[in-house]
Amino acid sequence: MLSAQERAQITQVWDLIAGHEAQFGAELLLRLFTVYPSTKGYFPHLSACQDAAQLLSHGQRMLAAVGAAVQHMDNLRAALSPLADLHALVLRVDPANFPLLIQCFQVVLASHLQDEFTVEMQAAWDKFLTSVSTVLTSKYR
Amino acid sequence: MSNFTAEDKAAITSLWAKVNVEDAGGETLGRLLVVYPWTQRFFDSFGSLSSPSAIMGNPKVKAHGAKVLTSLGEAIKNLDDLKGTFGQLSELHCDKLHVDPENFRLLGNVLVTVLAIHHGKEFTPEVQASWQKMVAGVASALGSRYH
């Protein structure tokens, strides 16, 4: 459950990302592949050539989904249901990978926002992204 | 165990030279206690941890954070023998402090975010990779003598 302050922190940070989903998403993926090479297996074409256009395109898609989650943070299960199906039936990303993506997300936020990335923002986003990943893996079995 | 390349070592040592251990230490431990509140379980004697500002301003948190990062600084001088460097501390954390080694991984990850805050774009994916390798190596070394 998110408190009112946490919701405010989440929205505040999202407002800084909105409009730049592709750029943030591409950097997120690049960090993921560089820091945690084992994750590349889930993105075979993308991680092999690391074509900038494809990273931007896929990054955009991923961050757009995060944006949708922000819009519906009070009802993530319903909002993310199709994505939960996709992850359970098609993608089948091992749940252990979500904390790795979350760490890279935090680093993207931290390196862009720097001193503006308050401890409250970091806490709220960690909680929020963890909830998102719980929902995305909720139909695995 | 972790093999640090010449690039890893350069990224780690050059960034470390710019770190203010006092400030970064307090910041790192403080953020750990706020973002992962269950880690407060080890710090009952630290006084007020009742809010983010109480935690970040707590002098005991700052002092202890500085102590932890000072120790990390020693490790950076001995990247090729982290297990040796942290042997005694590993025993201490197991036998006396009873700290779940998962906490070392959490702290390391928080340190990486603090470094990203301070260094912005300079904290490239490659630099992050070297540092994640570093903190993973430290966490592993600290857990290595648990029994």
The enclosing domain of A75 has a CATH number of 1.10.490.10
| Domain carrying residue A128 | 4-137
Average pLDDT over residues B48-55: 97
Query: What CATH topology corresponds to B4-141?
Result: Globin-like (1.10.490)
A79's tokens? 């909002």
A-chain residues near B109 (CB < 8 A): 103, 106
Q: What is the pLDDT of residue B1?
A: 54
Residue B112 to residues A75, A103, B64, B79, B120, Cα–Cα distance (Å): 31, 9, 18, 17, 12
Rounded CA-CA distance B35/A121 in Å is 9
Chain A: residue nearest B30 by CA? A119
pLDDT tens digits for A70-129? 999 999 999 999 999 999 999 999 999 999 999 999 999 999 999 999 999 999 999 999
pLDDT tens digits for A68-81? 999 999 999 999 99
Q: How many domains does chain A have?
A: 1
Looking at every residue in chain A, the average pLDDT score rounds to 97
Domain chopping of chain B, boundaries:
4-141
Counting residues of chain A whose pLDDT is more than 70, the rounded percentage is 100
Residue among A34, A111, A126 whose CB faces B116 most closely: A111
Q: What is the pLDDT of residue A48?
A: 85
